[in-house]
Structure 1
Amino acid sequence: MRPGVFLCVLAAALCVAAKPLSKAKNPNRLLLISFDGFRWDYDQDVHTPNLDRLSRDGVKAKYITPPMITMTSPSHFTTVTGRWIEDHGVVHNMMFNTTTNLKIPHKRALKKSEWWDNGALPLWITAQNQGLKTASFFYPGGAANYSGQAVNRALVEQQGHPDDNETEWRQNIDTVMNWFSQEEFHLVTLYYGEPDKVGHDKGPDHPKRKEIIQQIDRTIGYLREAIARHGLTDSLNVVITSDHGMTTVKKRPQVDEIILRNYLNLLKLTSFEILDYGGFGIVTPRPGREQEVFDALSNAPNLTVYKKDELPESFHLAKSDRLPPILIIADLGFNLNSRFIVYVNKGDHGFHNGEMDMKTIFRAFGPDFKRNYLSEPFDSIHIYPLLCKLLQVEPEPHNGTLAVTEAMLHSGNTTYQTYSIMLSDTI
């Protein structure tokens, strides 16, 4: 065959592979559940028969690594876009503007499309564009519009909403099962605010945290029962994961807490900062004062200060236009305080994603998953191509690869797998 003819045939084959398979046949439905702040080892000191059963009936990863900003909104959006934070633009839980000094807290920012809509399409919209029906139940990013497109159905958690009501947790599962069985939704993302809240309030080693893990385990048991009751056992895949871990905050009198005004004249040298927010801080120096701010912060203990243009490539943050010139990452367990000690959490996150306390969980079960399969650890960006494979949709450009997770699945369409890997390799 002549080279030109061969290339034409190859191109045609790739075009066929690129077609969304959801139009060719009906994919199994998909439920993505996130338990906020579920550290990778939280089930190891608690009796969790239902989570243990999941390991036998499906897939368990030893742990997964969240993106570098180990916070709720940035990490959740990485999961549903497969993009590093510098690519998807959601760089903090708070919506902020370094020029106007605007700061909008996390729960209110969930509804601000201008914070989420930065060109990276989340899985809900991608699936909808390929003929599927999707919903978000409290999942971060689900309430935003993306290039004018909204998720088919989106519920948003309100400020002050209780996170630990077990009766409501079960009601939420019943609602989602009805969406699948009666309204023919294909993809639903379901978010729970625990064990993050108890981890912040009490600390990861507190007995109350263990009680919440047992409550989560009972909820998993109820989920399995609900799936069977709705006749979805053979048609619903479930992926259970989280956004970050949790660590114990080091407090006085055991340690000296970080108070940055002791090392830096914030009023004189900076024009914007978010420094009272766990283990991750950002600073905009006044014009011409960047080196002075960097040097001053370099003298502060129990933290590492970075110039944005000198960040390690492994952080995948330097390309972000939203992040200011100076970033601070506290040592594990040390909260950043700007002028006074105002942060009262017993546990926190936002620390380096290489720390084991920041690692989180991955479980999956359903008709497309193998049974009793233990996966090696992987980065959370690789969840997205797996979700696309399960839904049989053509993915958007992403930083992950299906090659990391495809061994979890029963053998499927290798044409799609090859295409997905090729696409991710172009990023």
Structure 2
Amino acid sequence: MRLELFLLVAVVLGAAGKPLSKAAARNKLLLISFDGFRWDYDQDVDTPNLDQLAVDGVKAKYLTPPMLTMTAPSHFTTITGRWVEDHNVVHNLMYNTTTNIKLPFKQTMGRSEWWDNGVLPLWITAQNQGLRTASFHYPGGGATYRGQAVDRALLEEFDHPDDNETEWRQNIDLVLSWFSEEDFDLVTLYYGEPDNVGHRKGPDHPDRKTIIEQIDRTIGYLRTGMDRHQLTHSLNVIITSDHGMTTVKKRPQVDEIILNDYIKLSSVSSFEILDYGGFGILEPKPGKEQEMVDALRKAPNLTVYRKNEMPESFHLGRSQRLPSVVVVADLGFNLNSRLILYINKGDHGFHSGEMDMKTIFRAFGPDFRKNLLFEPFDSIHIYPLMCKLLQIQPEAHNGSLAVTEDMLQLGGASHRASQSVLLLLLSMLLLLTML
């Protein structure tokens, strides 16, 4: 009897020493971002492929982006795991408060001096540890960091169309070929929708629903492409976004915020970006800060902050690049500095705590658990998850793997299950000693 128990313990110990899911070499990772995909956009549209992802992988109830809820700052938080005040990409526009330069979003994409602030993005960290990485239109991918470029980077042209479904599929084909034929380990892929249609038509317009259906077909095309390229068992995929979208409040329903009605901006401000969604920045002229703050605080539906007095939860106040005064409009109220020229029907840039600013998270692949509905979490935590998947040592970051590790086959719950097995074995060994 004792011999049989010893043999049983030996067999179970051998099994417990192995991962509970099938051990494999390092799998590849594809990160896809659909700009402006609000957390609930798939709830009023038929999305069979997104629905299937919830069965075949992980779906978070929603994802909270950082303050700022803008494309460039949020994407760079995802790829660095750092708060905006640390990576200092504090706007979609490259600007200089001294020279008053303001470069459009797509021109900013290729300017390394805007992105390279001492924080290394995942592409560079992975390359420095022997991996091959690529960026396909992803914000920050076209810059150099400490003189080092991403192995392969494609930038969008200024007039690049956002909604061409044929091109979307071609992008998928090209990226999958990078994995299957050129042995890339990490690729980040960016699509400009549904942000574009959300701005032009508003989040409740039928055209937004049409784009979500197109995104769903693209995800289906991705999955059949993974089969075709024999990547289904070696490629992990994370699908996410940078921010949500809300309907812009306009006359005659509301009075729009015209800041020049409360103070003559030209007399107190040396620099400003105020006609860009719900988030504005100003640099007061010397000695004019108090006058500026007092006057703007009289405007309705607007919160005015000195940079050094912003809530710690914003993770913005220590930024060296952010100007001295920040204004944040209430949800749906867009900022107008002097004239009402704002034509967007939908926008973002509002407080990240607003549900309309929340976004999506889906993940599937060999390292992810299946049929798992995950609690909401902050996008800052995606970075350590990606490092875990790529089996690389992360840079210093503000996220935590503990938040997301229960998504993984080899982490979290499975690790605790292994510990439970070992405890059972110890109990059996104790029993043997008593026989």
TM over 0.5: yes
Match of 1:5 in 2: none
Contact 2:405 2:412 in 1 (8 A): no
Match of 1:334 in 2: 333
Q: Does 1:403 align with 2:425?
A: no
Q: Does 1:178 align with 2:177?
A: yes
C-alpha distance in structure 1 between counterparts of 2:193 and 2:412, whole Å: 36
1:196-229 per-residue CA deviation (whole Å, 9 max, x = no partner) reads 0000000000000000000000000000000000
- Label 1:26 to 1:128 Cα distance change in 2 as closer, same or farther (>3 A): farther
Give the deviation of 1:353 after TM superposition: 0.3
Counterpart of 1:30 in structure 2: which amino acid?
L
Contact 2:35 2:191 in 1 (8 A): yes
Q: Per the alignment, in what secondary structure is the counterpart of residue 224 of structure 2?
A: helix
- Which segment is superposed worse, 405-414 or 337-346? 405-414
Match of 1:98 in 2: 97
Output the aligned Cα RMSD. 1.3
1:6-27 per-residue CA deviation (whole Å, 9 max, x = no partner) reads xxxxxxxxxxxxxxxxxxx841
C-alpha distance in structure 2 between counterparts of 1:51 and 1:26, whole Å: 28
1:334-372 per-residue CA deviation (whole Å, 9 max, x = no partner) reads 110001011110000000000000000000000000000
Contact 2:406 2:412 in 1 (8 A): no
Match of 2:55 in 1: 56
Give the deviation of 1:264 after TM superposition: 1.3
Match of 1:277 in 2: 276
C-alpha distance in structure 2 between counterparts of 1:126 and 1:372, whole Å: 31
Counterpart of 2:214 in structure 1: which amino acid?
Q
Give the deviation of 1:254 after TM superposition: 1.1
Counterpart of 1:172 in structure 2: which amino acid?
N
C-alpha distance in structure 1 between counterparts of 2:318 and 2:296, whole Å: 22
Match of 2:379 in 1: 380
TM-score by length of 2: 0.89
Alignment of 1:27-426 (within 5 A): 27-412=26-411
Counterpart of 1:385 in structure 2: which amino acid?
P
Counterpart of 2:26 in structure 1: which amino acid?
P
Q: Per the alignment, in what secondary structure is the counterpart of residue 214 of structure 1?
A: helix
Give the deviation of 1:412 after TM superposition: 4.5
Give the deviation of 1:331 after TM superposition: 0.5
Give the deviation of 1:260 after TM superposition: 0.5
Q: Tell me the percent identity.
A: 74
TM-score by length of 1: 0.91
C-alpha distance in structure 2 between counterparts of 1:26 and 1:96, whole Å: 44
Aligned residues: 392
Give the deviation of 1:179 after TM superposition: 0.2
Unmatched 5+ stretches in structure 1: 1-24, 418-427
Give the deviation of 1:413 after TM superposition: 9.9
Counterpart of 2:359 in structure 1: which amino acid?
T
Q: Which has the higher Rg, Structure 1 or Structure 2? A: 2
Unmatched 5+ stretches in structure 2: 1-23, 417-435
Contact 2:405 2:411 in 1 (8 A): no
1:159-209 per-residue CA deviation (whole Å, 9 max, x = no partner) reads 111000000000000000100000000000000000000000000000000
Give the deviation of 1:332 after TM superposition: 0.3
C-alpha distance in structure 1 between counterparts of 2:186 and 2:61, whole Å: 25
Q: Per the alignment, in what secondary structure is the counterpart of residue 405 of structure 1?
A: helix
Match of 1:11 in 2: none
